[in-house]
Structure 1
């Protein structure tokens, strides 16, 4: 029996169970237990794929291969650590009156359902179900962003719903066009939206239809990735929602949308003789990196600043996959991994810092190293990691991306260096006073959950120094599958 049934079944069952008991005082622990079960099931699924190779499940509607198996494990792992972080965080929010029992019930239930939708998007073989999963993820995230029920959070949720709803509609039209191309190639009686079927006949798909389809798909799913100019929902959603939601938005949801784009890029590359898909991705990616870097310098809200950092890094990942080739694809996959780990760790520390200071305005947060040394050190180490300081994994992936760009796309290299330099200076000049400045605040009332922070940062450091052979093999196989 495939472990995939448990990977998908546990978060779905958790969402249903917590819809009834999510307001209990022990619901935070139940949330962690379901997340732990999902992670264990993901590890078993990984072991099955390592031992037996790619597998189909449930009449080939689900497909696990080197491209998605490590993303499934990463999603389950970050989902678990975020659930652990949210235990003390949401307790403090409840003590402050921001969370009522009904809101806690909604939060815990939607957290598990959100995990289910992301894992469904990663594992399904059906391109239509990928769209359904992304739409379901949008709906669950809207409820999570608006859980505080303040005017600002409701506005952010509405903006998120409208913009991503329009984007998902574009992705639906693109998916329909892909089915039209499949119909022409396979015949109406045999037309399929199963990616494995389409991948086998991708060279027979109509180039004109696939070109138009990929444009709609990149715009649609690019809205969920946060690519400029489709990004405006992301800073608001991060700033107004609970910090655990910000962590999974940046660390996980953006990866799902990127994964969807990559699956369609493989089909488009096979149908066309040109690198149209890669050129579009490089254009959107480079624009996102540059624009987000300069917006970083204008931010006053700490969560908004790190949301623009997410846009910058997703732009860099998009640019890497747009270049294609074994090295750039390898670097893009590595960057997806370390960005998820490091950015979620940063949001964990920011959550504790803003709770103590009572504000998200960076100029009013000072002396974290004195308020709680572990929070202060976690934040500064996380920032150094996300800025690409060696020997963290972000440095390794950015080095590979930049050196590949120098060789294959030299015109883009100056823009990348400029953007990364601006981001480095803008972020560091704001974070250093937050950590080392003078303060009169007392220590945190509740011990913060910082094990996830340093676990993530340790993994990010290890991936900069040494990539385990089995993980390296996944990256190599996935990079080869993406082609380019």
Structure 2
């Protein structure tokens, strides 16, 4: 699984642009998806898998994220092939930059797989930094002044943030060497097994730095400023994988560290911090949805809102809240990546990303108009789509554990709903501008994603519920590794 994208990086960097480059990128991601499904089958049948040298760990928590990463990576690559070809046809890209795009796409996927599979907390940090470097090159791909500015903003803010995570990792190492084997002190499986022996004060300080560092990658307020610019100035396929995958992996890193802090302190300190940052991000992003004039920036704030809700739910820490957060991670990735696919084509149809100038999509190209409308309905939490189910579970767990926070949660959901639909309605149903023409679009990945989101809202398959249940027990400390 790790070797395939590594080969892809070298292959696309050396071969240059070809007529079938987009299809080859799809094939690389399809083989990766097959490998992850085989891996998931082994975990479901045998339980957690630890490699012989203990360098890699696959357990119920990360295995479903691995499959989700491969699936979204594949469907986004299917969409990106005609999209990027169109971008080159209209002169926004050269062959050299298109070669860079496909090489860095595989580099990003490699970094995501490594974050999820490594058993070493230091390697996890390195992989997250690798994802930053790959996406910086994707954000600035168009080489416009705005995209270069967004790339530098992303690089500097996330570089500073990831430096905080590095200091937290150093503190984690310091706590670990006091009680165990120096050589294996950053192995998560060892840390988790002996968490009760670690210095709780040092672990609490380390978690603050981890939350700030990885929280920058999640887009938690007030560390979120890079995310709207990166979404709006980079190519749309990058926005789809950035919002659908990178934010999940950063949250995964925070939760892994929270599990260690919970085991060391036997307190809810880490959970309270996550709840505070999560609720703040959720509410601020909901208000900022109303102020946006760029369609990709608007949906980037929607991503911040939903990542805030997930962080808040993981912070609550109850089995119901954890289950809801895991379900929401899955559904949000599927829905938001589908939305960005339609947003990309909508911008191509209108020739702009300005919300005020995108009009009459259903009249110009019904598949794009309906895709954007249904995707927005799904992400806003309308039943029977899965976002409604996961948000309802988060609401129930909040009412049970912290009932005084329930009004804030309902307020944020209502404000976000209003912010989305005040903009979407005229874009979809407004008068069609003169000269607006349809574009070549591959929207069946959108239909698959939205069908899955609908299915998860009506009924969660037994194998997926089993994954979530096992991961919930592991995260809450109710089950051994």
Q: Same fold (TM over 0.5)?
A: yes
Distance in 1 (CA, whole Å) between partners of 2:296 and 2:385 is: 22
Select between 65-74 and 45-54 the one with higher mean Cα deviation.
45-54
- Residue 318 of structure 1: aligned partner: 311
Shift of 1:75: 0.2
- Alignment partner for residue 291 of structure 1, among 272, 280, 284? 284
Aligned length: 477
CA-to-aligned-CA distance 1:239-297 (integer Å, 9 cap, x gap): 00000000001000000100000100000000113200000000000000000000000
Aligned residues of 1:182 and 1:191 also touching (Cα < 8 A)? no
The alignment partner of 2:440 has SS state of coil
Shift of 1:414: 1.2
1:123-272 equivalent positions in 2, closer than 5 A: 123-186=117-180, 188=182, 191-272=184-265
Distance in 2 (CA, whole Å) between partners of 1:298 and 1:25 is: 41
Aligned residues of 2:348 and 2:439 also touching (Cα < 8 A)? no
Select between 293-302 and 49-58 the one with higher mean Cα deviation.
49-58
- Residue 59 of structure 1: aligned partner: 53
- Alignment partner for residue 102 of structure 1, among 96, 104, 111? 96
- Residue 450 of structure 2: aligned partner: 457
CA-to-aligned-CA distance 1:296-335 (integer Å, 9 cap, x gap): 0000100000000000000000000000111000000000
Distance in 1 (CA, whole Å) between partners of 2:378 and 2:131 is: 28
Aligned residues of 1:22 and 1:109 also touching (Cα < 8 A)? no
The alignment partner of 2:57 has SS state of strand
1:409 aligns with 2:402: yes
CA-to-aligned-CA distance 1:87-135 (integer Å, 9 cap, x gap): 1100110011001000000000000010000010000010001000000
Distance in 2 (CA, whole Å) between partners of 1:423 and 1:345 is: 19
The alignment partner of 2:50 has SS state of strand
- Alignment partner for residue 68 of structure 1, among 47, 53, 62? 62
Aligned residues of 2:345 and 2:439 also touching (Cα < 8 A)? no
Select between 313-322 and 368-377 the one with higher mean Cα deviation.
368-377
- Residue 81 of structure 2: aligned partner: 87
Distance in 1 (CA, whole Å) between partners of 2:434 and 2:230 is: 28
- Residue 334 of structure 2: aligned partner: 341
Aligned residues of 1:147 and 1:153 also touching (Cα < 8 A)? yes
Distance in 2 (CA, whole Å) between partners of 1:349 and 1:361 is: 15
Shift of 1:413: 1.2
Shift of 1:25: 2.0
The alignment partner of 1:353 has SS state of helix
Distance in 2 (CA, whole Å) between partners of 1:303 and 1:208 is: 42
Shift of 1:411: 2.1
- Residue 428 of structure 1: aligned partner: 421
Distance in 2 (CA, whole Å) between partners of 1:191 and 1:139 is: 27
Shift of 1:191: 5.0
- Alignment partner for residue 38 of structure 1, among 28, 32, 42? 32
Aligned residues of 2:121 and 2:186 also touching (Cα < 8 A)? yes
- Residue 23 of structure 2: aligned partner: 29
- Residue 448 of structure 1: aligned partner: 441
CA-to-aligned-CA distance 1:168-190 (integer Å, 9 cap, x gap): 000000001111111112154x6
Distance in 2 (CA, whole Å) between partners of 1:242 and 1:92 is: 12
Aligned residues of 1:8 and 1:116 also touching (Cα < 8 A)? yes
- Alignment partner for residue 281 of structure 1, among 274, 278, 303? 274
Shift of 1:441: 4.9
Distance in 2 (CA, whole Å) between partners of 1:245 and 1:205 is: 40
Aligned residues of 1:88 and 1:449 also touching (Cα < 8 A)? yes
Shift of 1:447: 2.9
- Residue 384 of structure 1: aligned partner: 377
1:11 aligns with 2:27: no
Aligned residues of 1:372 and 1:443 also touching (Cα < 8 A)? no
Shift of 1:442: 5.5
CA-to-aligned-CA distance 1:420-444 (integer Å, 9 cap, x gap): 1011011111001101111135675
Distance in 2 (CA, whole Å) between partners of 1:259 and 1:63 is: 14
Distance in 1 (CA, whole Å) between partners of 2:436 and 2:196 is: 62
Shift of 1:410: 1.6
CA-to-aligned-CA distance 1:170-219 (integer Å, 9 cap, x gap): 0000001111111112154x651110011110011101100100000000
Aligned residues of 2:229 and 2:297 also touching (Cα < 8 A)? yes
Aligned residues of 2:6 and 2:107 also touching (Cα < 8 A)? yes
Distance in 1 (CA, whole Å) between partners of 2:475 and 2:437 is: 47
The alignment partner of 1:186 has SS state of coil
Distance in 2 (CA, whole Å) between partners of 1:455 and 1:187 is: 48
The alignment partner of 1:228 has SS state of coil
